[in-house]
């Protein structure tokens, strides 16, 4: 196993009271191509800026080759960055941009010239030395930015969404070039992107980040085939995420049917999340041989395969990809192989809030006061409140609720939506609903007194 | 009504108050008292050592003022635009505030201040007054350029191994040049033509080019006065052209102009 080059230990960072990274632990091996993957605002760029040295963590340490570099300024770190918008110096031409790092080291002119022409050749930008950087296209600027960063021969190259500004065709070409460059240079690459396909194509290791926490670390195949929670499953590729129950070892029930699977050790009759990739459901016209049946609702040609939505016999909507098209309205049979069923432990089965009693029939929690049934508890008593996912009502008119929140994550579970609602104070509520909400909608939150289970803490 | 007709009031205004006076200056400068075409005023200017001396002295004072404004204004603009050093937007207002007060009032206050501290009025007082009056015109365009500057350039330089002082010399300074040239223009142009500040702060002991023009016009020597004004306009025009070339090279303009 290769040795560790970058080690991140218990790093936390917050901006103005808002936690951006929480307790991050990560090791990057020498020569690895590591990708930080997450949606915008997940904290992945902050993590890169911490490694580059433009930010210092509030807590924790970052070390490189075993030396603590947490407080070392960026110009003394042996790593270089390719910036998101390239940040090429507009007052210098291509040659001076690329030679910037070498000129600072006061190297002889001849050596600088040799090395500049070598890296320009590497990024296929020979003969562009005298060009103004502002006259270059996006892809060319990108190449110059990479040349400028690798000329210092850094031990680690940091890339902050370097392909985000390019069009699709160009992005695909650059992906291949980056991968080849990584092989040729042998340098450790740390790459930040929100594009899951890019991450799967390029990386040796993917670090999935959401809301300031590492969700999963693994190879592209691990992350795709065995997502560890519903966020990762939803974020990487297409998937059907369903509520299920683990009946016993190797037997799971979902969409109203029992299926054999390969997972063990969950216990008996435990609620679980089940992930099925759309290409892993087999469709057939032979209904008697199928595990369950359904009616084809839509069928769209996607180039290589057809993408179909099928309503199963117990009313769950499934996304299926198949090379053959099935007629809309026809009844089809479906099969799922045991090894294609990915079972995940549920992170929670109901909402749990910390609260304080205001009176015997009012409780203060998630930053607001809620009426509850008479508990007989005195004001000031600390309590734990449990509310089922489907017992929280979301209201269009935010003034009508006891508290307001914003829809921050939407998960479709075949027959209902599972929403994450974040309040301004940072509390999170999980809601099951059949209503359609959009991400970032502001909603009023209301809970009926009878639906709260209050236990003295 | 066509949209172009809306512009006519402005067009008439420009014609009456900008174009016409300029044409008059041009015409008067090449006329003698009887209205005949002549170069005599220019010859007079070139042959009289006193007027040449006043002219070079004015340029000298303008250059000194501009340099002092630059030396004081650049660091001020840098500090104001630096978020770590200046967290409030009120400080920039405080620096710009003097621009809102009439220049004569400010200059009279300077005279009173020198009086109160029993300092002599003269060349020193003149330069002090000029710098005090024109400093905001230097700070603002530089501040503006630095404010708009993309900080990722500085980050990139640091990333490539530049120490903070190298970052400043190789990135921040060259990228702020549009603001600097705009600031120089904003200070140099008015200082070369001032006369009120000079009169008040030197008790009329020191004569600037602007003073000479004003004296000539006041004493009815319109033709010679126009000739001097024309010479000054040409000098200002040359500085303008030079700085235009500068800012044409850079994409980011310094603002204000």
Residue A378 has pLDDT above 90, yes or no: no
Looking at the fold, whether A412 and A436 belong to one and the same domain comes out as: yes
Looking at the fold, whether A446 and A364 belong to one and the same domain comes out as: yes
- Return the pLDDT at A33: 95
pLDDT band at A93 (very low <50, low <70, confident <90, very high): very high
- The minimum CA-CA distance between B145 and chain A, rounded to whole Å, is 14
How, if at all, do strands A79-82 and A33-37 pair? Answer: unpaired
A→B interface, C-beta within 8 Å? 52-54, 73-75, 80-81, 83-85, 87-91, 100-101, 104-105, 134, 148-149, 152
- The rounded mean pLDDT for chain A is 91
User: When comparing pLDDT for B88 and A197, which is higher?
Assistant: A197
Residue A296 has pLDDT above 90, yes or no: yes
The residue-averaged pLDDT of A124-153 equals 90
B84-B89-B90-B93 Cα dihedral, nearest 10 degrees: 120
How many A-B residue pairs are in contact by the CB < 8 A criterion? 62
Are A89 and B162 inside 8 Å of each other by CB?
no
Complex ipTM: 0.75
Chain A residue at shortest CA distance from B153:
A87
Q: What are A222-237's pLDDT values in tens digits?
A: 999 889 888 899 898 8
User: Which residues in chain B are closer than 8 Å to A89, comparing Cβ atoms?
Assistant: 153, 156-157, 171, 175
What CATH number does residue B173 fall under?
A: 1.10.3720.10
Percent of chain A with pLDDT over 90: 60
Total residues found in chain B within this entry: 257
Looking at the fold, whether A293 and A324 belong to one and the same domain comes out as: yes
Looking at the fold, whether A263 and A283 belong to one and the same domain comes out as: yes
- Return the pLDDT at B85: 76
Q: What are A413-422's pLDDT values in tens digits?
A: 888 999 999 8
d(CA B192, CA B238): 13
pLDDT band at B254 (very low <50, low <70, confident <90, very high): very low
Looking at the fold, whether A75 and A168 belong to one and the same domain comes out as: yes
Supply the angle between the helices B123-148 and B177-193 in degrees, to the nearest 10: 150
pLDDT band at B249 (very low <50, low <70, confident <90, very high): low
Residue B245 has pLDDT above 80, yes or no: no
Among candidate residues A180, A210, A232, the one where a domain is terminated: A232
Among candidate residues A232, A264, A297, the one where a domain is terminated: A232
B38 touches chain A (CB under 8 A): no
B251 touches chain A (CB under 8 A): yes
The residue-averaged pLDDT of B203-226 equals 86
Residue B255 has pLDDT above 70, yes or no: no
In this prediction the pTM is 0.79
Q: What are A104-123's pLDDT values in tens digits?
A: 998 999 999 999 999 999 88
Residue A293 has pLDDT above 90, yes or no: yes
Percent of chain A with pLDDT over 70: 100
What CATH number does residue A303 fall under?
A: 2.40.50.140
d(CA A119, CA A150): 8
Nearest by Cα to B227 from B24, B26, B21, B29: B29
Residue A255 has pLDDT above 70, yes or no: yes
B148 touches chain A (CB under 8 A): no
- The beta-carbon neighbor of B161 closest among A88, A91, A104 is A104
Give the 3-state secondary structure of residue A56.
coil
Looking at the fold, whether A223 and A256 belong to one and the same domain comes out as: no
Range of the domain at B47: 40-249
Residue A304 has pLDDT above 70, yes or no: yes
- Beta-sheet strand order (sheet of A306-312): A281-284, A331-336, A292-301, A306-312, A317-322
A288-A294-A298-A300 Cα dihedral, nearest 10 degrees: -50
Question: Is residue B214 domain-resident?
Answer: yes
- The rounded mean pLDDT for chain B is 86
Among candidate residues A197, A232, A267, the one where a domain is terminated: A232
Nearest by Cα to A316 from A368, A240, A245: A240
Residue B252 has pLDDT above 60, yes or no: no
Question: Is residue B110 domain-resident?
Answer: yes
Are B159 and A75 inside 8 Å of each other by CB?
yes
Residue B80 has pLDDT above 70, yes or no: yes
Are A91 and B174 inside 8 Å of each other by CB?
yes
Nearest by Cα to A313 from A287, A340, A339: A287
Looking at the fold, whether A151 and A260 belong to one and the same domain comes out as: no
Please count the structural domains in chain B: 1
User: When comparing pLDDT for B184 and B207, which is higher?
Assistant: B184
Range of the domain at A430: 351-456
Looking at the fold, whether A408 and A374 belong to one and the same domain comes out as: yes
Residue B251 has pLDDT above 70, yes or no: no
Residue B64 has pLDDT above 90, yes or no: yes
The residue-averaged pLDDT of A71-96 equals 92
Residue B256 has pLDDT above 60, yes or no: no
- Return the pLDDT at A347: 81
Q: What are B9-36's pLDDT values in tens digits?
A: 999 999 999 999 999 999 988 988 888 8
**Which residues make Cβ contacts (< 8 Å) with residue A373, sequence separation at least 6?**
A361, A449, A450, A452
B250 touches chain A (CB under 8 A): yes
Are A89 and B171 inside 8 Å of each other by CB?
yes
User: When comparing pLDDT for A186 and A17, which is higher?
Assistant: A186
B149 touches chain A (CB under 8 A): no
A41 contacts A96 by C-beta, under 8 angstroms? no
pLDDT band at B189 (very low <50, low <70, confident <90, very high): confident
Residue B71 has pLDDT above 70, yes or no: yes
The residue-averaged pLDDT of A173-183 equals 91
- Return the pLDDT at A208: 95
Looking at the fold, whether A379 and A327 belong to one and the same domain comes out as: no
- The minimum CA-CA distance between A2 and chain B, rounded to whole Å, is 26
User: Any idea which residue has 């930008």 for tokens?
Assistant: A125
d(CA A115, CA A122): 11
User: Which residues in chain A are closer than 8 Å to B162, comparing Cβ atoms?
Assistant: 75, 100, 104
d(CA A428, CA A419): 10
Buried residues in A396-410 as b, exposed as e (16+ CB within 10 A): eebeebbbbbebbbe
- Return the pLDDT at B246: 61
B163 contacts B177 by C-beta, under 8 angstroms? no
- Return the pLDDT at B247: 57
Looking at the fold, whether A258 and A388 belong to one and the same domain comes out as: no
Burial class for A147, CB neighbours closer than 10 Å (0-12, 13-18, 19+): buried
- Return the pLDDT at A49: 93
Looking at the fold, whether A137 and A224 belong to one and the same domain comes out as: yes
Chain A residue at shortest CA distance from B252:
A90
d(CA B224, CA A448): 93
Looking at the fold, whether A226 and A333 belong to one and the same domain comes out as: no
pLDDT band at A361 (very low <50, low <70, confident <90, very high): confident
Please count the structural domains in chain A: 3
Q: What are A328-357's pLDDT values in tens digits?
A: 999 999 999 999 999 988 888 889 999 899
User: Which residues in chain B are closer than 8 Å to A100, comparing Cβ atoms?
Assistant: 157, 160, 162, 170
How far apart, in Å, are the Cα atoms of B195 and each of A302, A409, B108, B129? 78, 68, 14, 12
- The minimum CA-CA distance between A202 and chain B, rounded to whole Å, is 24
């Amino acid at each position: 196993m290769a040795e560790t080059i970058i080690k991140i230990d218990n790093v936390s960072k917050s901006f103005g009271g808002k936690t951006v990274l929480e307790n991050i632990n990560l090791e990057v091996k020498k020569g690895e191509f590591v990708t930080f993957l997450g949606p915008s605002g997940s904290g992945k760029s902050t993590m890169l800026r911490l490694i580059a040295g433009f930010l210092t963590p509030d807590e924790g340490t970052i070390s490189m080759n075993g030396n603590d570099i947490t407080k070392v300024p960026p110009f003394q770190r042996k790593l270089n960055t390719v910036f998101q918008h390239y940040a090429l110096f507009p007052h210098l031409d291509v040659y001076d941009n690329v030679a910037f790092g070498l000129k600072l080291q006061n190297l002889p002119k001849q050596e600088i010239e040799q090395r500049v022409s070598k890296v320009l050749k590497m990024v296929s930008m020979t003969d562009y030395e005298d060009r103004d950087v502002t006259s270059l296209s996006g892809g060319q600027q990108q190449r110059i930015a990479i040349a400028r960063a690798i000329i210092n021969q850094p031990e680690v190259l940091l890339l902050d969404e370097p392909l985000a500004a390019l069009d699709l065709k160009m992005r695909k070409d650059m992906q291949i070039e980056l991968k080849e460059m990584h092989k040729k240079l042998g340098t450790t690459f740390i790459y930040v992107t929100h594009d899951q396909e890019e991450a799967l194509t390029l990386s040796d290791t993917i670090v999935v980040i959401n809301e300031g926490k590492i969700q999963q670390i693994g190879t592209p195949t691990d992350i795709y085939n065995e997502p560890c929670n519903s966020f990762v499953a939803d974020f990487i590729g297409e998937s059907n995420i369903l509520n299920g129950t683990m009946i016993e070892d190797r037997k799971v029930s979902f969409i109203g049917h029992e299926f054999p699977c390969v997972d063990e050790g969950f216990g008996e009759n435990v609620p679980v999340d089940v992930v099925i990739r759309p290409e892993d459901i087999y469709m057939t016209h032979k209904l008697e041989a199928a595990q369950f049946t359904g009616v084809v609702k839509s069928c769209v040609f996607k180039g290589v395969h057809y993408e179909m939505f099928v309503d199963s016999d117990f009313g769950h909507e499934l996304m299926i990809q198949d090379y053959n098209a099935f007629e809309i309205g026809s009844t089809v049979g479906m099969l799922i192989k045991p090894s294609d069923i990915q079972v995940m432990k549920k992170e929670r089965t109901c909402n749990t809030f910390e609260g304080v009693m205001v009176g015997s029939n009012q409780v203060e929690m998630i930053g607001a006061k809620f009426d509850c049934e008479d508990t007989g508890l005195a004001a000031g008593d600390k309590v734990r409140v449990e509310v089922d996912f489907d017992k929280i009502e979301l209201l269009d008119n935010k003034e009508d609720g006891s508290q307001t929140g914003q829809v921050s994550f939407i998960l479709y579970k075949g027959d209902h939506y599972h929403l994450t609602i974040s309040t301004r104070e940072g509390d999170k509520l999980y809601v099951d609903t059949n209503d359609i909400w959009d991400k970032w909608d502001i909603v009023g939150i209301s809970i009926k007194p009878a639906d709260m289970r209050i236990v003295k803490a | 009504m066509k949209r172009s007709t809306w512009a006519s009031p402005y067009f008439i205004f420009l014609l009456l108050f900008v174009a016409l006076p300029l044409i008059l200056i041009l015409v008067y400068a090449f006329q003698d008292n009887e209205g005949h075409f002549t170069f005599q005023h220019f010859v007079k200017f070139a042959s009289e050592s006193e007027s040449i001396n006043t002219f070079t002295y004015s340029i000298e004072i303008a250059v000194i003022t501009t340099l002092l404004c630059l030396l004081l204004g650049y660091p001020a603009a840098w500090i104001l635009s630096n978020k770590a050093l200046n967290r409030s937007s009120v400080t920039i207002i405080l620096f710009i505030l003097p621009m809102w007060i009439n220049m004569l009032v400010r200059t009279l206050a300077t005279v009173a201040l020198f009086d109160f501290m029993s300092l002599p009025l003269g060349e020193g007082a003149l330069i002090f007054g000029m710098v005090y009056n024109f400093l905001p015109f230097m700070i603002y365009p530089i501040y503006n350029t630095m404010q708009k500057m993309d900080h990722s350039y500085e980050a990139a330089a640091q990333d490539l191994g530049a120490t903070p002082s190298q970052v400043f010399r190789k990135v921040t300074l060259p990228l702020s040049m549009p603001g600097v040239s705009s600031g120089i223009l904003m200070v140099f142009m008015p200082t070369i033509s001032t006369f009120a500040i000079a009169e008040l702060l030197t008790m009329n002991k020191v004569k600037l080019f602007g003073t000479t023009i004003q004296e000539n016009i006041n004493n009815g020597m319109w033709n010679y006065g126009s000739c001097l004004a024309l010479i000054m306009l040409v000098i200002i025009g040359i500085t303008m052209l030079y700085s235009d070339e500068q800012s044409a090279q850079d994409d980011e303009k310094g603002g204000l102009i």
